[in-house]
Amino acid sequence: MKTFTYEKARDPAQAAALAASHKDAKFIAGGTNLLDLMKIEVETPAHLIDVNGLGLDTITPTQDGGLRIGALVRNTDLAADAQVRRDYPVLTRALVAGASGQLRNKATTAGNLLQRTRCPYFYDTAQACNKRTPGAGCAAQTPGAVSRQLGVIGTSAACIATHPSDMAVGLRVLDAVVETILPDGSRREIPIETFHKLPGQTPHIENALQPGEFITAVSLPAPVGGAQSYRKLRDRASYAFALISVALIRHPDGSGRVALGGVAPKPWRLQAADDQLPNGASAVMATLLEHANPTAANAFKIELAERTLAAMLAEE
C-alpha cells in the first residue's frame, strides 16, 4: 500500500471539491473494494476522502413515485428495505446474490456501482493490463490465457473484462438514474444506461464520472410492476462472481425487460432484445448477444444466458 493522506468530508459539495483539488484523490465508502486494491497497489490514491460521515444513507420517495437511494445506503439495508422488496424485488434479489452478508453490511450503493473488474490479470500487477496501465497490453487476450470468467460482448481488443456488480444489473433493468454533484457545485443525473463505459481503446475509463464528481444518490423511477426475478449462475452455490446473471421483469402480457450481468463491461440490456421477450429466450438472446465475440473458454456464456432466461420464463 502506498502512503496516502486522509480526511473526512463535511458535505457532498465539499467532498467533490476536495477530490478535484487533490491529485489522485479517491472517495472511500465501505472500502470493501478500494482497500483490497490498495493493498496490492492496483489502486494507489495519494489522498482518501472518507465520505462515511455524510449521511446519504436513507431511502426516500421521489416526487414521481419512485425511490431515491442515498449513495451510502448499505447493500444489506437496501436489500431489506420493505418498499424495495415490494416494488423493486429484482433489486433485492440482485443484491443478496452478491458477495456475503458481512461484505454487504459494509458495501454502499455508490461503491458497488464503482467496484472494479475481477479479471485475474487485473489483480496481478506483474501482468500486462490496459485497464491498470493504459497501453500496456492485455494479458487476458494472449494465447493460452485464462478467460473463462471474462466478457463476451461489448469488449474490445484492448480489454475483455466484465463489470462484476450484481446490483448494477438490477438497477439497469429498473432504469435507475445516478445523481451526482460536481466539484463546481453543480448537479447532474446520469441514466444507468450510459453510466458505465465500454472499453474501446480506453478500458481505464470505466464510467461517465468527471474528475471529482461525487455520487449522492441513485434514484429509481416509479415501480414498473411485473414479475421480477434475478438468477445468478456460478460454479459454486454462493459467494462467487457471476458466470452470467439475468435480471428479468415480465408483465402478464408477455412483454418485459432483460438485463445480463457477467457478460460485458456493463450491465447488458438492449431495447430491441426486450421487445423479443414475447418470442422467448432464444429470440431475446439472439438479439441481445448478436454481436458477441467470446473466447474459446467463455463462449458457453452465450448458451448459458439463453438457457437461464428460458429457465426463468419456465419457472414463473
Q: Which does 122 bind (CB under 5 to 8 A by kind): ligand SF4, other proteins, ligand FAD, none?
A: ligand SF4
Instruction: Measure the CA–CA gap between 163 and 178, rounded to whole angstroms.
Output: 17
Q: Does 239 bind other proteins (CB under 8 A)?
A: yes
Q: Does 140 bind ligand SF4 (CB under 6 A)?
A: yes
Q: Which does 307 bind (CB under 5 to 8 A by kind): other proteins, ligand SF4, ligand FAD, none?
A: other proteins
Q: Does 123 bind other proteins (CB under 8 A)?
A: yes
- C-alpha closest to that of 67 among 36, 89, 50, 48: 89
Q: Which does 138 bind (CB under 5 to 8 A by kind): other proteins, ligand FAD, ligand SF4, none?
A: ligand SF4
Distances (CA, A) of 205 to 107, 118, 131, 132, 159: 22, 16, 8, 10, 11
Q: Which one of 152, 160, 249, 304 is in contact with ligand SF4 (CB under 6 A)?
A: 160
Q: Does 4 bind other proteins (CB under 8 A)?
A: no
Q: Which one of 58, 60, 186, 238 is in contact with other proteins (CB under 8 A)?
A: 238
| Contact by Cβ (8 Å): 154, 264 | yes
Residue 109 or 308 with smaller CB distance to other proteins: 308
Q: Which one of 93, 104, 131, 172 is in contact with ligand SF4 (CB under 6 A)?
A: 131
| Contact by Cβ (8 Å): 192, 209 | no
Q: Which one of 8, 106, 204, 307 is in contact with other proteins (CB under 8 A)?
A: 307
Q: Does 121 bind ligand SF4 (CB under 6 A)?
A: yes
Name the residues that contact ligand FAD, by CB under 6 A.
26-34, 36, 51, 71, 98-99, 103, 106-108, 110-112, 114-115, 164-167, 214-215, 241
Name the residues that contact ligand SF4, by CB under 6 A.
117, 119, 121-122, 129-131, 138-140, 150, 159-161, 203
